[in-house]
Amino acid sequence: MTNGTPIIETRGLTRRFNGLTAVDHLDLAVGRGEIFGLLGPDGAGKTTTLRMLAGLMDPQEGQARIAGMDTAKSGDRLRDVIGYMAQRFGLYPDLTVEENLAFYGDLFGVGRDEYRTRTDRLLDMTRMAAFRGRQAGRLSGGMKQKLALMCALLHRPQVLLLDEPTNGVDPVSRRDFWAILYDLVHEGVTVLVTTAYLDEAERCNRVGLMHKGRLIWCDTPAAARRASSETCFAVECTDRAKAREVLRTASGVACVEPFGDLLHLFLDETAGSVGDLTRRVNEAGLGPARFQRIEPSLEDVFILLIRKSEIAA
């Protein structure tokens, strides 16, 4: 995190729905000028967290603050500071790109001269100037996301909250979208983004991993690969599913999951050995088993951390 007071901070942030805890005493701090990625499986609490940060939902316990303001009490003052882009942003499909921008400019009270300057800048940044007269409903998925981003940026927010902004968007549009985010951070905007894409997590300054409402890990993407003392192996055998059942209860095995035609396995070598695991697979008639030591991917590490949190719960 950058030095100084965090621009986004939560302490004990909690929200429940019908007895289910969606966000469970979340402590989080994001520094000015960061791109912070919030990751986790469906139902982890990422969207609920963003909705509380945006002031759209009040916490039942704890507090969230953005730029020093309590998000549950600041109303219009908070909306002046943040740009929020939900998974389904409220674009009007029958209006053109320019008409959607004008609507959001009026909504945020952007003055006429500033609006013209700002829209020209945003259209140029997103390479959308040629489509300003096209109806939003006739845009591609990537263009719709760019339009949604422009609408969220019209009032020059300090903090941008993005809920899975590239979900379902093609790879080229995803790359363009992230290039825009880097430009915004260079201009001083702080970005908190939820994402289901592990390659996007690699683009963040720091990432937080949520599971069942809790933040179970938070650090840089590079640090994730050092987050475990176990050794990672790729396992080749004749029946991946049956071999997984054989291996998952073996001594020293912290996690074993499918990965293409292989298994990826984390082993605590102080408690178990590759020789013993190889023998188990072969004796089950699933060999010849081959174990190859590999560098774990970010996905491997996050799955391991989730499995460990489930055991500890």
End-of-domain residue from the set 223, 253, 280: 223
Task: Please tell me whether residue 60 adopts helix, strand or coil conformation.
Answer: coil
Q: Is the pLDDT of residue 293 over 80?
A: yes
Does residue 280 lie within any of the structural domains? yes
Tell me the average pLDDT of the chain.
93
Q: What is the pLDDT of residue 70?
A: 97
Does residue 50 lie within any of the structural domains? yes
End-of-domain residue from the set 223, 249, 279: 223
Same structural domain for residues 210 and 282?
no
**pLDDT band of 313, cuts 50, 70, 90:** low
Same structural domain for residues 177 and 200?
yes
Does residue 303 lie within any of the structural domains? no
Same structural domain for residues 99 and 62?
yes
Q: Is the pLDDT of residue 2 over 70?
A: no
Q: What is the pLDDT of residue 4?
A: 66
Residue 202's φ and ψ, nearest 5 degrees, are -65, -20
CB 152 within 8 A of CB 180: no
CB 302 within 8 A of CB 38: no
Does residue 147 lie within any of the structural domains? yes
CATH number of domain containing 253: 3.30.70.100
200-253 pLDDT tens trace: 899 999 999 999 999 999 999 989 888 888 999 999 999 999 999 999 999 999
Same structural domain for residues 278 and 218?
no
Q: Determine what percent of the chain is predicted with pLDDT higher than 90.
A: 82
Same structural domain for residues 108 and 203?
yes
Of the two residues 89 and 82, the one the predictor is more confident about is 82
Listing from the earlier edge strand, what are the strands of the sheet with 159-163?
82-85, 159-163, 190-194, 35-39, 206-211, 214-219
Q: Determine what percent of the chain is predicted with pLDDT higher than 70.
A: 98
Does residue 214 lie within any of the structural domains? yes
Same structural domain for residues 95 and 196?
yes
DSSP-assigned letter for residue 10: E
Q: Is the pLDDT of residue 148 over 90?
A: yes
**pLDDT band of 172, cuts 50, 70, 90:** confident
142: amino acid identity, one letter: G
Same structural domain for residues 38 and 168?
yes
Domain extent, residue 97, equals 8-223
d(CA 145, CA 225): 31
Sign of the C-alpha dihedral, residues 170, 171, 172, 173?
Answer: positive
Q: How far is CA 276 from CA 214, 242, 304, in A?
A: 35, 17, 21
Same structural domain for residues 16 and 156?
yes
d(CA 228, CA 216): 13
Same structural domain for residues 68 and 155?
yes
Does residue 300 lie within any of the structural domains? no
Same structural domain for residues 144 and 282?
no
Q: Is the pLDDT of residue 1 over 60?
A: no
Q: Which of 21-25, 85-89, 123-127 has the lowest mean pLDDT?
A: 85-89
235-247 pLDDT tens trace: 999 999 999 999 9
Same structural domain for residues 52 and 164?
yes
CATH number of domain containing 146: 3.40.50.300
Q: What is the pLDDT of residue 174?
A: 87
The total of structural domains in the chain comes to 2
The neighbouring-strand residues paired with 217 are: 209
Same structural domain for residues 36 and 182?
yes
End-of-domain residue from the set 170, 190, 223: 223
pTM: 0.90
110-138 pLDDT tens trace: 999 999 999 999 999 999 999 999 999 99
173-196 pLDDT tens trace: 888 999 999 999 999 999 999 988
Does residue 302 lie within any of the structural domains? no
Does residue 128 lie within any of the structural domains? yes
